[in-house]
Amino acid sequence: MKQYSRMDKLNRLVQTVLGEIIEKSYPYERYGMITVTEVDLSKDLRHAKVFFSVFLDEEHTITENEVLAFLEKDEYIIKRSLVSQVRMKYTPKLHFILDHTQQKADEIYRLLEKESREDQGK
């Protein structure tokens, strides 16, 4: 069984709490589905890379980059909510990073499916 370090546990806790904060603060109807996929705190806890993905429907007029801009603009409010729920030595500076991993995986899956169908047709 894998042993998790204190930092791994703190990363997962911050990821969960940030996900809840963002879910409550950014409604799906306006911003799409925003998911915090990973958090990577620096060793000194002063910085946190917050990886997130955005799933938008055709009805959404907002773009991923606009969602990123809103998150960056509201960093102070998000940090204040984080600090009220997670006790840490420092309040980390949040660096929001768009995570396209799922979109890339979906594209690879579609290509493999297409290739498989073409092979079956031969």
Q: 92-95: long-range contacts at Cβ-Cβ below 8 A with a sequence spacing of 24 or more?
A: 92/14, 92/41, 92/42, 92/45, 92/46, 92/47, 92/48, 93/46, 93/47, 93/48, 94/18, 94/48, 94/50, 95/47, 95/48, 95/49, 95/50
pLDDT at residue 1 greater than cutoff 60:
no
Identify the structural domains of the chain with CATH numbers, from first to last: 6-121 (3.30.300.20)
Global confidence as pTM: 0.81
pLDDT at 97: 96
Least confident of 39-48, 89-98, 110-119: 110-119
